[in-house]
Amino acid sequence: MSAVMTTGTLASAEAVLELLREWEEAGWLRSVDRALVRFLHEQAPAASPLALLLAALASHQVGRGHVCLELDALLQAPDATLALPPEGEPGSKPPPRPSSVLQGVSVAQVAAALQDSGLAGPGELGGTPLVYTGGQVYLRRYWESERRIGQAIRARLADREAWQGALDEQASRDWLDHLFGPPAEAATDPDWQRLACALAAGSGFSVITGGPGTGKTTTVLRLLALLQGLQGPDDPLRIRLAAPTGKAAARLNASVSGALDRLGLDQLPDGDALRRNLPAEVVTVHRLLGARPDTRHFRHGARNPLAVDVLVVDEASMIDLELMASLVEAVPRTARLILLGDRDQLASVEAGAVLGELCHRAGGGHYTPSTAHWLEAVTGMAVPAAMQDAAGQALDQHIVMLRESHRFGADSGIGRLAAAVNTGEALNGPDGDDAVRQKVLAGPEDPVLVTLAVDGRADTPEGEAVGYAGYLEGLRAARPAPAAPRAAWEDWARDVLAAHGRFQLLCAVRRGPWGLETLNRRVAAALQARGLLAGDAGRMDGPGAGGQWVEGRPVIVTRNDYALGLINGDIGIALAVPAWLARGEPEADSDATKGEDSVLRVAFLAAGDGGRVRWVLPNRLEAIETAFALTVHKAQGSEFEHVALVLPDADSPILTRELAYTAITRASRWFSLLEPRAGTLVAASQHQIRRSGGLRRWLGDAS
């Protein structure tokens, strides 16, 4: 027994429960972590105090996005592994820290405590609530999800030769020439989009990763055109497009429409039929799978697979472990599953970093000589020798990384800043903040860092006013007449939503002087002071429908509402509309509606609705928040012309390279950085998220 254990800290289950209570009060643990231990103690009263403590810490790690608790890391650096704050509040007496509680505890003691507790066992045997394997402690349901993903993907990797054998290489090359043009003879670097199309066509599972603007959407549409062209005009493939959130689905929907117009399909053989057979609608993953309200279960799964031939899922970095497990099992082995996403973005809010684990070797290619030979035969382009690896793993042969950004060039301000933050190296030097400014300021022809007022109104170097003041001014100036047709009101609502979406204030934390809650109040107060917004800023940001409703208030849906057809991440704006429109009448009756007051409805453009505006009664919205400011996590899957990132003035484990990179790359034209404390961005770039999990172990020997 360690010295700490003999002093009483871990002497009994009651002592552990008291310790967890103190940790919860200090904000170190969630209430659910302690509740789990109370339940386990009731079910297994003989379980050792150390085993109960490890259960709490495994649950705590899940709350931080990890799939499991890494025991070696825990025992070597407990406080850092658990991401606890460096010290308590000034003047307060903090509870014992994990570093003191676990001092002297060995891996052998941990293993014995878990094995003797009755709470943990190997994953394949029994139904213990914890799984202890390979030096990792899992809550069982997360081990099960990881196993399901690993087994489903391994099975697909094993089918690669069959998929490639079924593909007509010459016909594929002809179609690639139609879609991309013949390969340039003098090209020194391959067209990675072309290679991605070929690799995905010859596989039942593939991942296409790349930063913003690298052409993932265009690539996958060319891939779908290739597959449908090979299939023939009279035999349409069952193709579905999906994204994890409503916002991401709506953005992909718009991207698909624009990309289809640019592809020039009418110039291809049977182009009209090809265009008709390609999908134009994007749905959320939850809607695709048939989510059952108030449960984690779906209508579609291994026993009731989706009726698809090809499934494309965008923004896959946002998909957590459990949802990915349900997704991969719902796709039949006879169908292609294609994941798109940026491996460098923030992972999902929930536990897991599936895309990051799948793509951890993507930068180096690691294509075997046989894969390289096959790709050259199909595409006419050689895989660079530096990207080939005779010892390449099976998974490597299914991953392609796109490397050239078309949204902003590598030499643009945003591109250079994103690259600098993503590597961390360019900012880790004696220049400090000066290095950041050199990366951001790219000269007068590439304005990135612009002046931002507190209300979000900014005059860019190009003279355009963007921000929240702009959408509120436009809201008033373009309001239709009360008797205008419904189409005019819907066009107006779409324009207001689009204007609001040009600019977004992002923050890293929810609380504190530079957190979400404070910034929402400050922005609302500033807009009210200018006469652009009515109401009381202090009452507007109440949770749910209880907050004060005024015209122009933007809100974000924080939980799926299937009754209203709204998905977590959907953005709406409260607008004053005629009573006849709110009642759902097709048009105004000038005599009957004279003298009627306008009423507030929240306008949404929900995914899968073909751009139709949904007018929702504010009182029906139960899970929403004011959205002048959004957390970076909530902004994933979105793109704005101008992004302003507000960083906090205190250290936080939330401040990471991935968070900064995700925020910066939400901007397409301008990026503003607001640092109450200089050097925060530089510090964040040095901290990289490393989520614990074992998915690679499931896939590592698949070859």
- Alpha carbon of residue 292 to chain centroid: 22
* Three-class DSSP category at 277: helix
Would 154-407 and 413-537+548-686 be classified into the same CATH topology?
A: yes
What pLDDT score was predicted for residue 461? 39
CATH-assigned architecture of domain 8-134: Orthogonal Bundle (1.10)
Amino acid 188 reads T
Give, as one character, the DSSP assignment of residue 597. Answer: P
Task: Mention the CATH class of domain 154-407.
Answer: alpha beta
Strand partners, 504: 643
What b/e string do you get for 216-237 counting C-beta neighbours within 10 Å, with b at 16 or more? bbbbbbbbbbbbbbbeeeeeeb
Sign of the Cα pseudo-torsion (401, 403, 405, 410, in order): positive
- Cβ 472 vs Cβ 496: under 8 Å: no
Residue 221 falls in which region: left (phi positive, over 0), alpha (psi -120 to 50) or beta: alpha
Rounded to a whole number of angstroms, the CA Rg of the chain reads 27
How big, in percent rounded to 5, are the helix, strand and coil portions of the chain? 45, 15, 45
* Three-class DSSP category at 460: coil
- Cβ 286 vs Cβ 567: under 8 Å: yes
Q: Which residues contact 536 (CB under 8 A, 6 or more apart)?
A: 548
Tokens found for residue 349: 């809010």
Give the strand pairing for 310-313 and 239-243: parallel
What pLDDT score was predicted for residue 464? 42
Nearest alpha-carbon partner for 223 in 252, 202, 242, 244:
202
Ordered by start, the domain boundaries in the chain are 8-134, 154-407, 413-537+548-686
- Cβ 503 vs Cβ 467: under 8 Å: yes
C-beta atoms surrounding 494 within 10 Å = 15
- Cβ 375 vs Cβ 351: under 8 Å: no
Name the helix (H) or strand (E) containing 208: strand 205-210
Tokens found for residue 281: 């609608």
C-beta atoms surrounding 154 within 10 Å = 16
Cα-based angle 621, 622, 624 (whole degrees, multiple of 5): 75
Cα-based angle 350, 355, 358 (whole degrees, multiple of 5): 130
- Cβ 378 vs Cβ 198: under 8 Å: yes
Residues tagged in the binding site annotation: 210-217
Nearest alpha-carbon partner for 685 in 419, 341, 404:
419
* pLDDT tens digits, 453-501: 333 344 443 444 456 888 888 888 889 988 888 889 999 999 999 889 8
**What is the rounded CA–CA span in Å between residue 452 and residue 644?**
8
What pLDDT score was predicted for residue 2? 40
> Phi and psi at residue 472, in whole multiples of 5°?
-70, -35
What is 686-698 written as a DSSP string? T--------HHHH
Give the strand pairing for 399-402 and 458-459: unpaired
Q: Which residues contact 440 (CB under 8 A, 6 or more apart)?
A: 413, 416, 417, 448, 449, 671, 673
Helix segments in 384-535, DSSP class H? 413-423, 433-440, 468-477, 486-500, 516-529
What b/e string do you get for 7-29 counting C-beta neighbours within 10 Å, with b at 16 or more? eebbeebebbbebbeebbebebb
> Phi and psi at residue 505, in whole multiples of 5°?
-90, 125
Residues tagged in the binding site annotation for ATP: 210-217
- Cβ 569 vs Cβ 214: under 8 Å: no
- C-alpha separations of 296 from 141, 291, 292, 316, 530 in Å: 12, 8, 7, 19, 46
- Cβ 421 vs Cβ 664: under 8 Å: yes
**What is the rounded CA–CA span in Å between residue 77 and residue 12?**
24
Sign of the Cα pseudo-torsion (433, 434, 435, 438, in order): positive
What pLDDT score was predicted for residue 203? 94
Q: Tell me which fold the domain 413-537+548-686 belongs to.
A: Rossmann fold (3.40.50)
* Three-class DSSP category at 61: helix
* Three-class DSSP category at 123: coil
Q: Which residues contact 237 (CB under 8 A, 6 or more apart)?
A: 224, 227, 228, 231, 277, 309, 310
What pLDDT score was predicted for residue 371? 94
Sheet holding 68-70, edge to edge: 68-70, 136-139, 130-133, 120-121
- Alpha carbon of residue 437 to chain centroid: 28
pTM of the complete model = 0.80
- Cβ 362 vs Cβ 206: under 8 Å: no
What pLDDT score was predicted for residue 642? 85
* Residues in the chain with pLDDT values less than 50: 1-7, 439-465, 701-703
> Phi and psi at residue 194, in whole multiples of 5°?
-65, -45
Name the helix (H) or strand (E) containing 69: strand 68-70
**What is the rounded CA–CA span in Å between residue 114 and residue 117?**
5
* Three-class DSSP category at 519: helix
